[in-house]
Amino acid sequence: MNLYVYFKFIVKDHPLVLKRIREMHDQLALEFPGLVCDLLKRPVPDQDGKETWMEIYHGEATEKPEFSERLEVLALKNGLPQPRRSEVFIPIE
């Protein structure tokens, strides 16, 4: 299962948001061994000057309810931009 989380924020906040996400990813990796965290962004800001970023989480940890709960808690604790939208995708077999 892959969990995708996306959100928008003002471009000038890029350095701070990146720092906070990296800290959150480090914490999640410690708590959920085997978790793979990726971070992407759209190539250009939207018409309101906001960037759209997407966190991607891979691994067995994403299937555990406690992972989603912990992710939400850390996102709030780290002051990450809100709202955050989540979607789950599974492999096609």
Query: Domain of 80: which CATH number?
Result: 3.30.70.260
The total domain count for the chain is: 1
Per the document, the length of the chain is 93
Q: What is the pTM of this model?
A: 0.91
Assign 11 to helix, strand or coil.
helix
Residue whose C-alpha is closest to residue 51's, from 30, 81, 21: 81
Assign 46 to helix, strand or coil.
coil
Domain residues for the domain of 33 are 2-89
Q: How far apart are CA 48 and CA 51, in angstroms?
A: 9
What is the tens place of the pLDDT at every residue in 31-85? 999 999 999 999 999 999 999 999 999 999 999 999 999 999 999 999 999 999 9
What is the tens place of the pLDDT at every residue in 18-32? 999 999 999 999 999
Structure tokens at 89: 């995708």
